[in-house]
Amino acid sequence: MSILPEVLFVDDDPRAGELVARFCEHGPFQVRIYREPEKLLARFRTHGAACLVSDLRMPGMDGLELLREIRALDSEVPVLLVTAYSTVDSAVEALRLGASDFLKKPYDMEELARLIERTLDHRRLQGENRRLRQELGAQQRVRALIGTSAELDAVRVRLRRVAAVRSNVLVEGESGTGKELAARAIHDLGPDADRPFVVIDCGALSDSLLESELFGHERGAFTGAVRTTPGLLETGSAGAVFLD
């Protein structure tokens, strides 16, 4: 049995939460109801969600503040805002901050459910589109290893096998034989294909700057260090680093 996408709903009016929970109980998604946005935010920090629905005006943290906090954690999760006090300014600000849609109270439960379903379908299609683009790019990268020999076919098979494993990889070969091309193909075929692929030409790093370039430095660490700069290893830590 597939796991239903989770939707987080927050409204300081308990009646709104009760209605949503009752109406969506047997729907194609599961709903968690909150009256305090801080509790929704705590849940999202630890478990994430497929979609968020928030009232705009609430005591303490309002919907726009919650939206800012959510966007600092996740730039893509859809956030729907609902309110009885909709104004042009608030709608514009909500959309500027990254709200997916804006629904005015009083709303029909079927209308809200349809909006959530459309939003979830749109996000699913975006994810599938991104995955297909990554797969296409990866296949094109592997096809860039031009040739039809049995040896090259074996290399392609090995690249796919290696890409499925999270591990350090040693790529050997003479200069100009395509080590970087092979390393990039491994990255593009792997689970982190959408993350950085950082190439470090070790031969181009001078002894005096080697440590700073690889590991970064803090502001004031040495003469001329006017700002904190991340190292190349940190830049590629979420994806892959190719040491050439």
pLDDT at 8: 93
pLDDT tens for 179-226 read 888 888 888 777 777 777 878 777 776 666 667 677 776 776 666 665
- The per-residue pLDDT for 9 is 94
Q: Which residues contact 21 (CB under 8 A, 6 or more apart)?
A: 9, 31, 33
List pLDDT tens digits, range 101-156: 888 888 888 888 888 899 888 888 887 777 777 666 666 665 556 666 777 678 77
Domains of the chain in sequence order: 6-137 (3.40.50.2300), 145-190 (no CATH), 195-243 (no CATH)
